[in-house]
Amino acid sequence: MKKSTIIILVALTSCSQQKKLSTYSDGMSWTDLTYTFDASTPYWPNNPRGFEHNTDAEGRTPLGYYYSSYSIFTPEHGGTHLDAPNHFSEKGLTVDQIPMSSLTGNAIVIDISRKALADRDYILSVQDIMDWEKVNGAIPTNTIILIRTGYGKFYPDRASYFGTAMTGLSAIPLLHFPGVSPEAMQWLVDNRDIKALGLDTPSMDYGQSKEFKSHQILLGRNKPGFENLANLDKLPTKNIYIIALPMKIGKGSGGPLRIIAGIPKS
């Protein structure tokens, strides 16, 4: 009798939890912030190879059923991807070590597109953050920050997106796209203890950066970065929930990322 009672209570509890989870999921409208990986995916100019999708098998088998299988090649950093802390921090977490709590959570969008589209070398400033907070209130602790520069509209055209169509080491000095100033990044990790930061450009540091200080600051705190994000123009300013799951590469410094944004249905 006691065992039966326990089983019934457990079953009821389980059903209740499932209903809550279902209600949460059904109450959200989801936006994909990920670009498709294919031959058009742009990579950093010094990457000798880009994304490759090779056919290993495709077609009808001798037994009559269809079967396909492919192999892929991709650098860690390119397309919509994650920067793991060890990308710029010697003792930082690798991709496979990043806790799930760092890859999911509430997010806001800071829109600097008007300024960035007028100046390819524009960098997010502390004043931009202050201006956002004047309108929307202080950014809560453990928030994922998404920076909209407007450069997503150029993807994947290399000339417009990177500032140059050239590739190779000689192209790096010619890169011109917006990013986050080291001062703003330092302010965010010191004063708002942000969870992660992502944006719609090839790098968190602007194209002309030589020391990648914004990378060093964020990743040095064991906080991941998300680059080459899609569809930030489709998101509201706040009340966003992010799920950002990278390919779990052992000892990886980064990897392809599937990132989605949930927005509560009104």
Give residue-wise pLDDT tens across range 82-105: 999 999 999 999 999 999 999 999
The verdict on residue 2 lying in a domain is no
Does residue 63 sit within a domain? yes
Please write the tens of the pLDDT for every residue from 212-232: 999 999 999 999 999 999 999
The per-residue pLDDT for 27 is: 86
Structural domain includes residue 197: yes
If one counts the domains in the chain, the total is 1
Residue 7 resides in a domain: no
Owning domain of residue 225:
30-264
Tell me if 114 is assigned to some domain: yes
Find the CATH number of the domain harbouring 54. 3.50.30.50
Domain membership flag for residue 12: no
Tell me the pLDDT tens digit for each residue of 125-134.
999 999 999 9
Q: What is the mean pLDDT of residues 111-134?
A: 98
pLDDT of residue 180: 98
Average of pLDDT values for 22-35? 83
3-state secondary structure the chain: CHHHHHHHHHHHHHHHHHHHHHHHHHCEEEEECCCCCCCCCCECCCCCCCCEEEEEEEEECCCCCEEEEEEEECCCCECCEEECHHHCCCCCCCHHHCCHHHCEEEEEEEECHHHHHHCCCCEECHHHHHHHHHHHCCCCCCCEEEEECCHHHHCCCHHHHHCCCCCCHHHHHHCCCCEECHHHHHHHHHHCCCCEEEECCCCCCCCCCCCCHHHHHHHHCCCCEEECCCCHHHCCCCCEEEEEEECCCCCCCEEEEEEEEEEECC
Please report whether residue 183 resides in a domain.
yes
pLDDT of residue 22: 46
**Mean pLDDT, the chain, whole residue set:** 93
Q: Dump pLDDT digits (tens) for 145-176.
A: 999 999 999 999 999 999 999 999 999 999 99
pLDDT at 11 over 50: no
**Model pLDDT for residues 57-86, shown as the tens digit of each residue:** 999 999 999 999 999 999 999 999 999 999
Please give the pLDDT value at position 64: 98
Residue 196 belongs to some domain of the structure: yes
